[in-house]
Amino acid sequence: MDPRKIQQIIDAGVDFDIQEILQKAWVLFKTRASFHIGFMFIIGATQAFFAYYLEDFVSIYSILLAPALIAGFYLVANRLSQEEYVDFQNYFDGFKYWLLVVTINLISGILTVLGIFALIVPGIYLAVGYMFAMLFGIFGGFDFWTSMEMSRKLVTTNWWKFFGFVLILLLLNIAGLLAFIVGILITVPVTYLAIYVLFEQLTEDAVDESPEGEKTITHL
């Protein structure tokens, strides 16, 4: 990604149709529904294992494993969007970016918690603002701080719209929990797919051009 083009997007401001984003995310979900559900089941089983059998080490999962697993959804979403072949092992490609995504998740999480402890509102602002940090790191090739700042600045251009988007995703997952819990096997993957779809749509003018003139958002 070209930092100058990203800055131009930020300077111009962004807007989007939440319904359209969710519809596109649902299409990506249906494309590999069994894969998405299966990977989410593995994540849920891993969380349950730590919670019940390694309770003292839950923080290790949250800090060292969860970020790479979440990144797997984004990487698969990218492949699906580019109409590339997807194998189940691609969900674990997030571990290729392990240090970067762990750092982004840890630092952004600490700053968000500090913001909540301070006045609550700054924490909410940062929680929404850093929603694309991991994506900028993976697909933009930026370091953790640049990724966090680019995400925050992009979201700030239309923060309330992004807040509404996050709120809808939150409500969607609450509904998934209420649906005998198993609903989250669908709603959580759709959530991450929706975040990717929105990121791709907002940054499409900043992606690099290949020698053949084709745009690509991936750095795999």
pLDDT of 217 reads 58
* Mean of pLDDT over the chain: 92
Domain ranges of the chain: 17-216
152, 162 contact by CB (below 8 A): no
Q: What is the mean pLDDT of residues 41-51?
A: 93
Distance between CA atoms of 142 and 92, rounded to whole angstroms? Answer: 21
- pTM given for the model: 0.93
pLDDT digits (tens, 9 = 90+) for 84-138: 999 999 999 999 999 999 999 999 999 999 999 988 899 999 999 999 999 999 9
Both structure tokens of 58: 């839950």
Kindly list the distances between the CA atom of residue 175 and the CA atoms of 151, 163, 171, 180, in Å, as whole numbers in the listed order: 28, 18, 6, 9
187 has pLDDT over 50 = yes
Classify residue 210 by its DSSP letter: P
Other beta carbons within 10 Å of 192 = 22
User: Given this model, what pLDDT does residue 219 score?
Assistant: 42
* pLDDT, mean of residues 156-173: 97
Res. 215: pLDDT tops 60: no
Q: What is the number of H-type helices and E-type strands within the chain?
A: 11, 2
pLDDT band at 182 (very low <50, low <70, confident <90, very high): confident
pLDDT band for 76, please (50, 70, 90 cuts).
Answer: very high
| 157 Cβ neighbours under 8 A, 6+ residues apart | 10, 13, 14
**What does the angle CA 6 – CA 198 – CA 213 come to, to the nearest 5 degrees?**
55
Instruction: Report the distance separating Cα 39 and Cα 61, nearest Å.
Output: 16
At residue 213 the predicted structure's pLDDT band, cuts being 50, 70 and 90, is: very low
Angle at the Cα of 168 from the Cα atoms of 197 and 157, rounded to 5 degrees:
60
Better-predicted residue by pLDDT, 56 or 75: 75
Confidence bin at 210 (pLDDT 50/70/90): very low
Token code pair at residue 184:
């989250």
Tokens representing 84 are 């590339």
> What's the pLDDT score for residue 57?
87
* Amino acid identity for residue 190 in this structure: V
